[in-house]
Structure 1
């Protein structure tokens, strides 16, 4: 049976974004957490498949997942120095030691990356994989919010955004939009949570314009999307697939939890919500968007973010992510728990620790508390990875006795009828994690 190799670097925008563009001020984020997210691709794997990860997956977590039926093969970066170098993405890691990995990865397997990055085509050619990818330039173009802006124009749907090509234009357009409310400034290829900024008033707008102008004076080019902050009640997304022949498949619709413009969770939209979308032209717009993507040269997975306004209006295209997505991962998790007549809520627990913590301890305390999902106990969570919480060693040790190290434990919280059940379950899990002397931040 043909095997598929799943792999990826989740912070794709960091490699797509030009270093010559000016940037909004942002909070720093942990690259170690982002680099460990490649483990979250395991729900896509079948028994004959391979998951390549930067760090070796925790053996206790692997054992637990195998008990659930996830029996994929894990291959990890063998060079610790390369794995710890966050300037290298997944294709860099593989090409840097190509001879070694060619012995481990089956010839003519399919390769299924989280996203297309530089060296992807060379990697496929060198390893004789049976794939063809869209060009990197095409991938960068369709993932830009500039493309989403222009697509809305082409499709004749609601488009309240404007493009500012300088700090001066940002100040002018922003001042006009502030007359009717707060303004959202978006980096065309900004990373989730670090590519958006809410401007509440003129004073903040002037500070941001001055900040960008300083960068322009050093040779940086400015380009941002500006739009009014809409009265949104709900975020959701549609996961689709475009074949190499241009055929469009709608995979799922996922409701999203966002906090401060950052992703915080996904769960299935539900039949009632989907029926509501079917009563509108939503899915025809999704197909039209995919046709445009295909004509532009893209094929593969795509996630289109949408939102529902307080007025009841649906904004079908907020932005486009031409890659795999957290919603797609949750679709596969949901498919797994459906055998138990349950649904999956994918989220994370942000935690900190100052003493040694291991995945074995976490699994043990969850099991003892009846909060670990098993085939016999369906009242618990499914931990999805160790590296995003515990770092490269799969054992959490703070750098100094007084220092708290932070990470994220990504989990699937199964529920039977309402997502509130999953939220209650997560709260109970947080209380149990505190028994390991961990601090909870979200």
Structure 2
């Protein structure tokens, strides 16, 4: 079997987003640029032994050992190049300079960016990739919203192309609404409008940008009364073959990702229906007709009135839910289930991850591949002063997960160094 090279920057939406689009007001992303660059370390969960993972920055040696003990043991190599350059840009420029020889290997990319094809060619990898233009088009929420409206599905939004239209649509709505940037992701680019004052602030922000020549393209969507967020995962292959991969429960907080996990048996029975599968098959066919091949995550909602919004957004790339499915396959082999968690936490400069790994080991909580435990998944995302810890919780179905997750929080607090202020501060 041919080994595989895995790589890809997680800020694909920034590469797809047209430069002349107006932006919603937003706070800085947790973790900053370095934290976002290091998200590519999460790709290790999809690697088989013998695979190669190329990352933007080196992974902590201690974490590499812990992952290997859990059965996740690719070779991990940081790609040299300018700090502000993506992995794809570095590979497209340098090729395999300073890297292991991988010509003829398969390529598994996080997403297709403008430089991805050139990176694959420079490495001599084998891959069937859609064009960056096609990938950008189908990842726009405008594209998926047009699909929803054309199929008469629940959950459609209305597109606003001027600040005035934004104001009118929000004021005419029955209740709070959500404004969505076509290329927003993980809580950035989605804004809940809750008051006239907030609407005034948003409209003024858009008017200033429009006055400088920016285009306004925002989706105005009702704030749904959701009972459950979920994701459906498929693979669109050559020849328009659509392969079903599974469904995940999604935990969000104010649109920001907090985790994924298995649906309960009752939830799964209610959501994984022939009607839902038919809708997802339509999504796959529409993507194939556009020329897209590769992994797809379709976000959906189950509303409190019983309505199932099968297609809220389409993410034509790898996703956290897919990583959770891959981890769950490992868990299932030993009779467990897996939950992928993201925890925002204060981080003091120093070896934050090393302290946590030592504490988990001393408490006999590290997952070693055969019994319940916790497995941190990335080192570079724990950036001071506030970073993100991505970790997997392996537990028996329906039991033990909450307790293990709570222990992680306790250990994070216990291992955080105390800041000592100088007398003059």
1:72 CA drift (Å): 1.2
Pick closer, same or farther for the CA change 1:232–1:58 going to 2, 3 Å: same
Correspondence for 2:43:
41
User: Gaps (5+ residues) in structure 2?
Assistant: 419-425
1:406 aligns with 386
**What does residue 95 of structure 1 align with?**
92
Corresponding residue for residue 432 of structure 1: 411
- Give the equivalent residue in structure 1 for 2:19: 19
CA distance in structure 2 between the partners assigned to 1:224 and 1:382 by the alignment:
39
What is the CA–CA distance in structure 1 between the aligned matches of 2:252 and 2:55, rounded to whole Å?
A: 27
Q: Gapped runs of 5+ residues in structure 1?
A: 392-397, 399-404
Q: After TM superposition, give the deviation of residue 116 of structure 1 in Å.
A: 0.5
| Match runs of 1:291-302 below 5 Å | 291-302=285-296
* Residue 316 of structure 1, aligned match among 310, 315, 320: 310
For residues 429 and 69 of structure 1, the distance between their equivalents in structure 2, rounded to whole angstroms, comes to: 21
- Structure 1 residues 370 and 427, CA, compared in 2 at 3 Å: closer, same or farther? same
How far off is 1:433 after superposition? Answer: 2.0
Deviations 1:118-175 (A, max 9, x none): 1222222333221121111111111011011100122221244100001111111111
Measure the CA separation in 2 of the matches of 1:194 and 1:359: 26
Find the aligned partners of 2:352 and 2:232 in 1 and give their Cα distance.
Answer: 36
Given the superposition, is the C-alpha separation of residues 164 and 368 from structure 1 closer, same or farther in structure 2, using an over 3 Å criterion? same
Secondary structure of the structure 2 residue equivalent to 1:189 = strand
What is the root-mean-square deviation in Å for CA atoms of aligned residues? 1.7
Asked if the contact 1:185–1:199 (Cα under 8 Å) also holds between the matched residues in 2, the reply is: yes
Return the offset for 1:437.
2.3
Correspondence 1:64-83 to 2 at 5 A: 64-79=66-81, 82=82
Where do residues 101-140 of structure 1 align in structure 2 (5 Å cutoff)? 104-140=100-136
Deviations 1:11-58 (A, max 9, x none): 211111112111000010122211111111111111121101111111
Q: In 1, are the aligned partners of 2:258 and 2:343 still within 8 Å (CA)?
A: no
* Superposition misfits of 4+ residues, deviation over 3 angstroms: none
Equivalent in the alignment of 1:401: none
TM-score by length of 2: 0.94
Q: Which residue of 1 aligns with 2:58?
A: 56
* SS of residue paired to 1:220: coil
Counterparts of 1:335-350 in structure 2 under 5 Å?
335-350=329-344
**159-168 vs 19-28, greater mean Cα deviation:** 159-168
Which deviates more, 65-74 or 269-278? 269-278
Please point out which of 251, 276, 283 is paired with 1:282.
276
The alpha-carbon deviation at position 69 of structure 1 amounts to 1.9
Q: String of CA shifts for 1:183-217, please: whole Å, max 9, x gaps.
A: 11000111321110111132321221111001000
- 1:2 counterpart residue number: 2
Match of 1:381 among 374, 378, 385: 374
Aligned residue runs from structure 1 range 241-252, under 5 A: 241-252=235-246
In structure 2, the partner of 1:239 is 233
Is 1:357–1:436's contact at 8 Å kept on the other side of the alignment? Answer: no
Distance 1:319 1:148 in 2: 6
- 1:395 maps to none
Distance 1:286 1:300 in 2: 15
- d(CA) in 1 for partners of 2:123, 2:349: 43
Please give the alpha-carbon distance, in whole angstroms, between the structure 2 residues aligned to 1:327 and 1:238.
8
Q: Distance in 2 between matches of 1:244 and 1:201?
A: 48
Report how many aligned residue pairs link the two structures. 416
CA contact (8 A) 1:277 1:283 kept: no
Instruction: From the superposition, tell whether residues 375 and 159 of structure 1 become closer, same or farther in structure 2 (CA, over 3 Å).
Output: closer
Shift of 1:218: 0.7
Task: Answer yes or no: is 1:415 the counterpart of 2:395.
Answer: yes
User: 2:144 and 2:367 mapped to 1: Cα distance?
Assistant: 39
